[in-house]
Structure 1
Amino acid sequence: MARGGINKALVQKARQAILARGEHPSIDAVRVELGNTGSKTTIHRYLKELEAADQGRGTAPIPLTDQLSNLVAHLAEQLREEAQAGVAQEREQLARERRDHQDRLRQAEDRSQHFEAQCVGLTEQLQAAQQELQQERQARQQAEVENARLLQSNHDLDTRLQDRDGHIRSLEEKHQHARDALEHYRQAAKEQREQDQRRHEAQVQQLQLELRQLQQTLMIKQDELTQLNRDNARLLAEARQQQKDLQSRQRKLEQHEQALANGQHTWAQAEQENSALRERCDTLQGEVARLGEVRDMQGLLVHSLQERLAEALAQLKYLSHPPAEAGSVHQA
């Protein structure tokens, strides 16, 4: 089938131009004259038709050997073109598959690099989260130590407060004893009442003064104890808040670890895809080698056909012009 608008008139014009230059109008020469366009089979058919037309106008008939030679050359040319077309088609198909494979391999490598970068980022985030967790643990330990110290201080204050209460009870007992002694002195000696009463009042005033001082000291200690209780409550609240923050950070750490595990799983799948693509590439390369062997076998077949054709032509020439006939021709 003609390509690029090749027709018989164009082939005839190209043939005449070649003959005008004194050259032989072969198929390749006509095709070059046409600008490397057109099928060789079509050009060969048009050349045959033009040669037949020239022969019909009074030229001598073409010998049978030349006709067979042209026919065999045409068949060999057509066989070679078909073989080359098949090989070219296979090469084109293999080239497309190779390009597709290279594109898929490149995409897989890009995805692998992306997953590796994501894995590195997740690892850095995990390390940062672990450092924050370690800092939170240290802060928690410090808070626990401070809380223990405050509890011990509270315990010491309670002990001191109990000592003060015992001292106050002792003073109250002394005061009661003094009253009992005063009453006894009143009953025993009325003449010394005024003197004893003054001394007793002085003692009572002294004791009352000491009692007020002790009560004031007790109030101050109670205020200190209240403040310590408030500080303890505040520290406990801060410890609870730190515990909540620590739990929140642990949950974030678990989420980061889960994301890291997912990234590693996706990276493993990409590695499997890469392995499958490499196996496919090896298979395609084997197929290319096999097609090369097929092409070489077809070339050998064409060469064998040409040798058989040469032998057939020799036999035809021998049958068409036997040796005796050739001797008589030379004598004439």
Structure 2
Amino acid sequence: MARGGVTKFLVQKARVAILARGENPSIDALRVELGNTGSKSTIHRYLKEIEAENAPAVGAPRTLSENLTELVAQLAGQLQQEARQSVAEDRAALSRERLDYQQQVRNAQAQIDPLKAAVHALEVQLQDAREQLQTVQEQKHQSDLANARLRQVGSDLETRLRERDAQILSLEEKHNHARLALDHFRQAAKEQREQERRQQESQVQQFGGELRQLQQSLIVRQDQLTQLNRDNERLLTEARLLRNEQEAKHQQLMRETLASEVLRQDKARIDGQRIELEERNQELADELRLSQQLLREQAIRMVALEEQVRHASQRETPEAAAPE
């Protein structure tokens, strides 16, 4: 370390330090100990003076104070050397610790950035899930309205179908009554013709006029029979039309029932999707809370690391400022 000049005191201090290490206090060793400063001639001159002062008088024994002074000087030099070595080791350890703290801070920052990106991605996914859930809820509402309309249409069709069935039943009863009347009339006419034929065979001449009257009556009855046959055909035609209309309504009801079933299946599928979206929404919310917890823990760790680095910097600054 450069100084304002080499003095006798500095040379003596360097000599004591070298002696304390058990080395020879030569001029070169002293100059190295002084930080490679000072001329060798100056160091040699001071060294001669110090050795002369420390040399005991001829025939005079060294006093206890002189021995103690030399021992204290040696111990002081050794303590200074150990202190410098301890300070150097502490500085090296502090430097390594500071590098470790800085690396930990960089690692924490490197972990925080992906976590922030992950949180942003989770927030985007959560927003998408909420929009999908809203869309599904709207679709479910529309599906419920459509189902309500279809149920109303089905109820109306069932009412009309019951009315048609009642009409068809009434027509069938009328047709049965007409057929029974026709059969009865035919049977009566047959019996009457047989009776008339038998009477005609025995009383042809006697009942000629009555035959004409009976023929006229038969014509009237045939007209009635023809009218009844026409009414019967008309009733049969109406019954066939009613059956065809009933069949068409039944097919329409089947189609609407099938459409209602398809809508019900779509509603069930939409409900399943809604449940899945709600579960996914819950998972995303849990992941978001976990990410936020991790961010808070990382932030706490980063603050602690910054506090340790700050304390380490404060410890290093006074030691760096202390004179050697």
Q: TM-score, normalised by structure 2?
A: 0.65
Deviations along 1:242-284, one digit per CA (max 9) or x if unpaired, are 2222222222222212222221221121112112112211211
Q: Cα distance, 1:111 vs. partner?
A: 1.1
Is 2:248 the partner of 1:234? yes
Task: Report the AA paired with residue 213 of structure 1.
Answer: Q
Q: Residues 171 and 207 of structure 1 are in contact (CA less than 8 Å); yes or no, is this contact kept in structure 2? A: no
Residues 1:215 and 2:233 aligned together: no
Deviations, residues 8-53 of structure 1 (Å, cap 9, x unaligned): xxxxxxxxxxxxxxxxxxxxxxxxxxxxxxxxxxxxxxxxxxxx78
Equivalent residue runs for 1:189-268 within 5 Å: 192-268=206-282
State the Cα deviation string for residues 290-318 of structure 1 (Å, max 9, x = none): 223323432453366468x46xx7xxxxx
Contact persistence 2:101–2:305 (CA under 8 A): yes
2:134 equivalent to 1:102 = no
Corresponding residue for 1:121?
Answer: 135
For residue 300 of structure 2, what is the aligned residue in structure 1?
286
Cα deviation code 1:62-101 (max 9, x no counterpart): xxxxxx9xx89x9698777666544443333222222222
Q: Name the CA distance, whole Å, in 1 between partners of 2:40 and 2:91.
A: 29
- Does the aligned pair in 1 maintain the 2:126–2:285 contact within 8 Å? yes
Confirm or deny that 1:158 pairs with 2:158.
no
Uncovered stretches (5+) of structure 2, i.e. residues with no partner: 1-34, 44-80
Q: 1:319: which partner in 2?
A: none
Q: Could you say if the C-alpha distance between residues 168 and 60 of structure 1 is closer, same or farther in structure 2, counting changes exceeding 3 Å?
A: farther
Separation (CA, whole Å) in 2 of partners of 1:241 and 1:84: 80
The one-letter code of the counterpart of 1:236 is H
Q: Between Structure 1 and Structure 2, whose CA radius of gyration is higher?
A: 2
Q: Structure 1 unaligned runs (5+)?
A: 1-51, 62-67, 314-332
| Kept in 1: contact 2:98–2:312 (CA 8 A) | no
Cross-structure match for 2:70 = none
Distance between the aligned counterparts of 2:204 and 2:226, measured in 1? 31
Closer/same/farther in 2, CA of residues 92 and 60 from structure 1, 3 Å limit: farther
Higher mean Cα deviation, 272-281 or 149-158?
Answer: 272-281
Measure, in 1, the Cα distance between the counterparts of 2:264 and 2:42. 105
Match of 2:193 among 172, 176, 179: 179
Quick check: 1:133 aligned with 2:150? no
Equivalent residue for 1:144, pick from 132, 137, 158: 158
TM-score by length of 1: 0.64
In structure 2, what is the equivalent of residue 33 of structure 1? Answer: none
Q: Distance in 2 between matches of 1:56 and 1:274?
A: 70
Contact map agreement 1:185 1:196 (CA 8 A) in 2: no
8 Å CA contact 2:112, 2:295 repeated in 1: yes
Letter in 1 for 2:307: E
Q: Aligned partners of 1:128 and 1:251: how far apart in 2?
A: 14
- The question of whether the paired residues in 1 share the 8 Å contact of 2:91 and 2:316 is answered with no
The number of equivalent residue pairs is: 252
Partner of 1:18: none
Which deviates more, 204-213 or 248-257?
248-257
Say which of 111, 126, 134 aligns to 2:125: 111
Check whether the contact 2:102–2:309 (CA below 8 A) recurs between aligned residues. no
Identity rate of aligned residues, in percent? 9
- The separation in 2 between residues aligned to 1:205 and 1:167, in whole angstroms, is 18
Question: Residue 116 and residue 59 in structure 1: after superposition, are their counterparts in 2 closer, same or farther (change >3 A)?
Answer: farther
Q: CA deviation at 1:154?
A: 0.5
